[in-house]
Amino acid sequence: MSTTSTDQAAEPTYDVRLVVNGTPHEVRLPARRLLSDALRHDLGLTGTHVGCEHGVCGACTVLLDGAPARSCLVLAVSADGAEVTTVEGLTEDDGTPQGRLGPVQQAFVDCHGLQCGFCTPGFLTTITAGLRENPDPTHDEAREMVAGNLCRCTGYQNIVKAVERAADLAGRGRPDGDDARPADGGAA
């Protein structure tokens, strides 16, 4: 970390190294740059959405060294050296430039969990980490997993279904994975 100040009026800036979705980046930022803004403005990764900007809505959630964090409540400079996973990093490599949707993304498509799509990136990152910790959540645990994220379309039913669907999709790849539940949760 080093500081430069070219003239009296200039704000000091700091070298920040971030590994975002596996790609190392070095940027020079003022201390007040939020991680959400560093991702969007400085690295051009606009998949991370900014809603409330004070930690309430969850739209800006990214994985910071593997754990979900509100990127609007992290100064980019304090994340120096961290590994960040954004929504752009959730696709799986299938040899094509755009990749294949990951299980949580696919589940949102299957269950119509996006609706307007604004809050979706935060849900996807939160659920990706949540299923890593609890690969086979009960219905209540699926609800709890997304309780910190707001959807102003208020389409929570389909989002909770998508959590369960994603668990099924991811479970197929595991040796002990349960048989997949239907996308509608099996309810009549």
Q: Where are the beta strands (DSSP E) in 46-186?
A: 61-64, 67-70, 83-85
Closest CB to another protein among 32 and 100? 32
CA distance 40 to 158: 28
Hey, which residues between 8 and 37 contact another protein (CB under 8 A)?
Answer: 11-12, 14, 30-32, 34, 37
| Cβ within 8 Å of residue 63, ≥6 positions away | 69, 84, 85, 125, 128, 129
Smallest gap from Cβ 95 to another protein, in A, equals 33
Closest CB to another protein among 69 and 183? 69
Residues facing 34 on adjacent strands: 75
Stretch of 74-82, 105-113, 155-163, 165-173 contacting another protein, by CB under 8 A: 74-82
* Total site size for another protein, rule CB under 8 A: 31
Smallest gap from Cβ 61 to another protein, in A, equals 6
- Helix, strand, coil percentages for the chain (3-state, nearest 5): 35, 20, 50
Hey, which residues between 114 and 173 contact another protein (CB under 8 A)?
Answer: 126, 130, 144, 147-148
CA 137 to chain centre: 19
Give whole-number Cα distances, 55 to 45, 47, 93, 165, 178, in Å: 20, 17, 31, 27, 35
Smallest gap from Cβ 75 to another protein, in A, equals 7
Taking the CB of residue 94, how many other CB atoms lie within 10 A of it? Answer: 9
Hey, which residues between 77 and 96 contact another protein (CB under 8 A)?
Answer: 77-78, 80
Considering only residues 23, 55, 153, 157, which one is a binding residue for another protein as defined by CB under 8 A?
55
Residues that bind another protein (CB under 8 A): 1, 11-12, 14, 30-32, 34, 37, 53-55, 58, 61, 64, 67-70, 72-75, 77-78, 80, 126, 130, 144, 147-148
